[in-house]
Homo-oligomer: A and B are copies of this chain.
């Protein structure tokens, strides 16, 4: 396997932390996003969506999607389980992971990509340029604030995002909370549950990934 990464980017961090939690070591290639390497033909042949992360399997199949990669790694190395252990857990973990992605990650990305000076015409990832929409940047910021408040409430009723155990939903949530710092949306002062959880999951060795 080869893991195509960009060490400064939040999306591949969701896989980096996952790999670290599994205790796996996968040969890794850094893709120079700043230099546009992801838009060049060589990388596009591996992932037409022009995004990292990508996991290239030994048979040449390229997985160009975070959740697909995590599913593969969980299948080939089940311990420790990060996607749930039985039918109900697997479903509940998937649900919370998707909430973290849709309500959290996509909100921050919406705010950032529609406002950053370095991302003009790059409002969406991928091979096609799309113009920034200032109203969408503002909406993304509103949604990010709401997400952080909702996550704080959730962590007041559950030690981890999806329940009693650390799972992939915590990985996604950690990446989102740290990514929100890119748009200067920190953990609100009153969000004590979120702060406690963030200190907890950030203290795991995998969080360095």
Contact = CB atoms under 8 A, between A and B. Distances in A.
A3 to B, nearest CB: 14
A139 interface: yes
Contact of A90 (B71, B86, B99, B133): B71
A67 B98 CA distance: 9
Contacts of A87: 71-72, 75-76
Between A64, A72, A76, A136, the greatest number of chain B beta carbons within 10 A of the residue's beta carbon is seen for: A72
Nearest to A55: B91
Interface of A is mostly: helix
B133 A65 contact: no
A89 to B, nearest CB: 10
B49 A68 contact: no
A119 interface: no
A171 interface: no
Interface in A47-94: 49, 57, 59, 61, 63-65, 67-69, 71-72, 75-76, 86-88, 90-92, 94
A172 B95 CA distance: 17
Given A88-B61, A136-B136, A146-B128, A71 B94 contact: yes
Contacts of A86: 75
A131 B94 CA distance: 29
Given A49-B99, A65-B99, A68-B95, 13 more contacts: A59-B88, A61-B92, A63-B91, A67-B95, A68-B91, A71-B94, A72-B90, A75-B86, A75-B87, A76-B87, A133-B136, A133-B139, A135-B135
A130 interface: yes
Contacts of A99: 49, 65
B65 A98 contact: yes
Between A57, A69, A94, the greatest number of chain B beta carbons within 10 A of the residue's beta carbon is seen for: A94
